[in-house]
């Protein structure tokens, strides 16, 4: 069988002992080593490495720059995005209810997604039907039975989230994780900043469903209360996983939930956090965001020991930019074109404060 019939790019290397079935595709610069087997319909991207004895099943899609070490089987139903590492003898599954006497067909395969930049370490076992988030780290021998969020570190059997890693794979500051799990209440003259509670979904929906607010954010207006419930669950899970600091902004005099403020995306390399905030429209123009940001910055530098806090806003959001200026943040470079929402490119400004 010729190289072209196999769908193998001329710059790809296929070891003579490997089997690449007709209808499979191997991208430029990729290497398929000893005793690998790539089934029909499988698609391997550019500059990938399949180590010894790797099996890639029918119609599996593997992105670019993926490294799969020895003795890994990637079964039907698994999709691996770009820049993913899969360690030796890691195990993917694809049948929730396996029985030898039940006839197999591909419709039984549960879909598993491994997002960009994630790492699955040696001997880990991945339950089918879950998602491993971007740059997540699944530790050696972990038995992963639940979705792993972006940048999360999962260890153990069954695996549980033990904190966060940065893009380079380095663990987050343990102080950050501990503070997030037991997030403290913050106070200012007019505001109280507290953890979200299980009863906050309707309060979130009040501001998050406002299209005038969402035109300045990275998220679309919440179309239903269920969307707000999903976001609330994400925040509550984030506390237990040590993922982010997120506070509800409470107006003391009215005892009312008027917005939210957060510090997220801890980066171990420069010890930075990203600041974000949102406020109900009927509370705009009264200095509440500036007041909340001031106490959160004190927390970031004085308690969490961050060295840098940065925030971003779309260029047309002059009120948000003024908040950053009022609290003493300074611009970083000029406007940059960014895709904040699918199909929407806008110019974004970045401001920072250093300790």
Residue 169 falls inside a structural domain:
no
> Is 340 found in the same domain as 318?
yes
Is 4 a residue whose pLDDT tops 80? no
Residue 213 falls inside a structural domain:
yes
Using CA of residue 289, residue 199, residue 238, residue 349, what is the dihedral sign? Answer: negative
Domain end residue (candidates: 164, 192, 209): 164
Q: What value does the CA radius of gyration of the chain take, rounded to a whole number of Å?
A: 24
What's the pTM value of the predicted model, to 2 decimals? 0.67
pLDDT band at 251 (very low <50, low <70, confident <90, very high): very high
Domain end residue (candidates: 110, 139, 164): 164
pLDDT band at 215 (very low <50, low <70, confident <90, very high): confident
pLDDT at residue number 5: 38
CATH classification at residue 303:
3.40.630.30
If you search the block for the tokens 């600041």, which residue do you land on?
275
Distances, alpha carbon 195 to alpha carbons 94, 150, 182, in Å: 38, 21, 9
Residue 226 falls inside a structural domain:
yes
Question: Using CA atoms, how far apart are residues 218 and 216, in angstroms rounded to an integer?
Answer: 7
Q: Going by C-beta distance under 8 Å and a sequence separation of 6 or more, which residues neighbour residue 61?
A: 42, 43, 79, 80
Lowest model confidence (mean pLDDT) among 14-23, 58-67, 171-180: 171-180
> Is 254 found in the same domain as 282?
yes
Question: Using CA atoms, how far apart are residues 186 and 121, in angstroms rounded to an integer?
Answer: 39
pLDDT band at 346 (very low <50, low <70, confident <90, very high): confident
How would you classify the pairing of strands 330-331 and 256-267? unpaired
What mean pLDDT comes out for the span 286-312? 95
> Is 124 found in the same domain as 264?
no
Residue 231 falls inside a structural domain:
yes
Find, among 276, 244, 234, the residue nearest to 259 by Cα: 276
Is 172 a residue whose pLDDT tops 80? no
> With b meaning 16 or more CB within 10 Å and e meaning fewer, what string describes 79-98?
bbbbbbbbbbbbbbbbbeee
> Is 113 found in the same domain as 246?
no
pLDDT at residue number 105: 78
> Is 224 found in the same domain as 350?
yes
Q: How much is the mean pLDDT over the chain?
A: 91
> Is 257 found in the same domain as 297?
yes
> Is 18 found in the same domain as 141?
yes
**Among 105-119, 128-142, 176-190, which range has the highest average pLDDT?**
128-142
Domain end residue (candidates: 118, 136, 164): 164
Number of domains in the chain: 2
- Residue 315: strand pairing partners: none
> Is 200 found in the same domain as 155?
no
pLDDT at residue number 267: 77
Residue 130 falls inside a structural domain:
yes
pLDDT at residue number 174: 65
Q: Between these two residues, 242 and 352, which has the higher pLDDT value?
A: 352
> Is 332 found in the same domain as 251?
yes
> For residue range 19-72, what is the model confidence (pLDDT) as tens digits?
999 999 999 999 999 999 999 999 999 999 999 999 999 999 999 999 999 999
> Is 126 found in the same domain as 25?
yes
Is 175 a residue whose pLDDT tops 90? no
Distances, alpha carbon 173 to alpha carbons 130, 244, 270, in Å: 27, 12, 11
% of the chain exceeding 70 in pLDDT: 96
> Is 299 found in the same domain as 251?
yes
Neighbours of 236 (CB within 10 A): 16
pLDDT at residue number 342: 66
- For residues 261 and 255, the answer to whether their CB atoms sit within 8 Å is no
pLDDT at residue number 161: 85
Domain with 150, as residue range(s), is: 3-164
pLDDT at residue number 176: 75
Q: DSSP for 122-175, please give it.
A: TT-EE-TT-EEPTT-EE-TT-EE-S-B-TTEEEETTTTEEEEEB-TTSPBPPHH
CATH classification at residue 151:
2.160.10.10
pLDDT at residue number 180: 81
> For residue range 114-152, what is the model confidence (pLDDT) as tens digits?
999 999 999 999 999 999 999 999 999 999 999 998 888
What is the number of residues in the chain?
A: 355
What mean pLDDT comes out for the span 264-291? 90
> Is 273 found in the same domain as 332?
yes
Distances, alpha carbon 109 to alpha carbons 23, 32, 42, 229, 323, in Å: 20, 25, 15, 29, 50
What mean pLDDT comes out for the span 75-96? 95
């Amino acid at each position: 069988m010729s190289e072209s019939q196999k769908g193998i790019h001329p710059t790809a290397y296929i070891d003579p002992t490997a089997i690449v079935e007709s209808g499979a595709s191997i991208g430029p610069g990729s290497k398929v080593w000893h005793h690998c087997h790539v089934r029909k319909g499988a698609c391997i991207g550019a500059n990938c490495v399949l180590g010894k004895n790797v099996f890639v099943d029918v119609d599996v899609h593997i992105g670019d720059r993926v490294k799969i070490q020895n003795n890994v089987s990637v079964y039907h139903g698994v999709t691996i995005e770009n820049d993913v590492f899969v360690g030796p003898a890691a195990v993917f599954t694809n049948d929730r209810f396996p029985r030898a006497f039940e006839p197999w067909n591909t419709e039984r395969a549960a879909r598993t997604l491994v997002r960009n930049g994630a790492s699955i370490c040696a001997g880990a076992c991945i339950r089918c039907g879950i998602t491993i988030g971007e740059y997540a780290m699944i530790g050696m021998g972990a038995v992963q039975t639940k979705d792993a969020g972006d940048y999360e570190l999962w260890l153990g059997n069954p695996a549980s989230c033990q904190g966060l890693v940065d893009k380079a794979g380095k663990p987050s500051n343990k102080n950050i994780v501990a503070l997030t799990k037991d997030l403290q209440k913050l106070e200012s003259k007019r505001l109280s900043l507290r953890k979200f509670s299980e009863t906050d979904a309707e309060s979130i929906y009040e501001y998050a469903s406002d299209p005038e607010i969402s035109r300045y954010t990275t998220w679309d207006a919440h179309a239903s209360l269920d969307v707000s419930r999903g976001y609330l669950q994400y925040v509550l899970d984030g506390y237990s996983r040590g993922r982010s600091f997120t506070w509800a902004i409470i107006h003391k005099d009215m005892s009312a939930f008027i917005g939210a403020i957060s510090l997220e995306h801890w980066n171990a390399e420069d010890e930075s956090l990203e600041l974000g905030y949102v406020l109900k429209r009927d509370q705009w123009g009264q200095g509440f965001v500036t007041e909340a940001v001031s106490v959160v910055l004190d927390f970031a530098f004085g308690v969490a020991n961050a060295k840098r806090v940065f925030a971003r806003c779309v260029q047309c959001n002059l009120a948000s930019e003024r908040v950053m200026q009022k609290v003493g943040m300074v611009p970083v470079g000029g406007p940059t074109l960014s895709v904040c929402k699918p199909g929407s490119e806008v110019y974004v400004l970045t401001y920072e404060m250093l300790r």
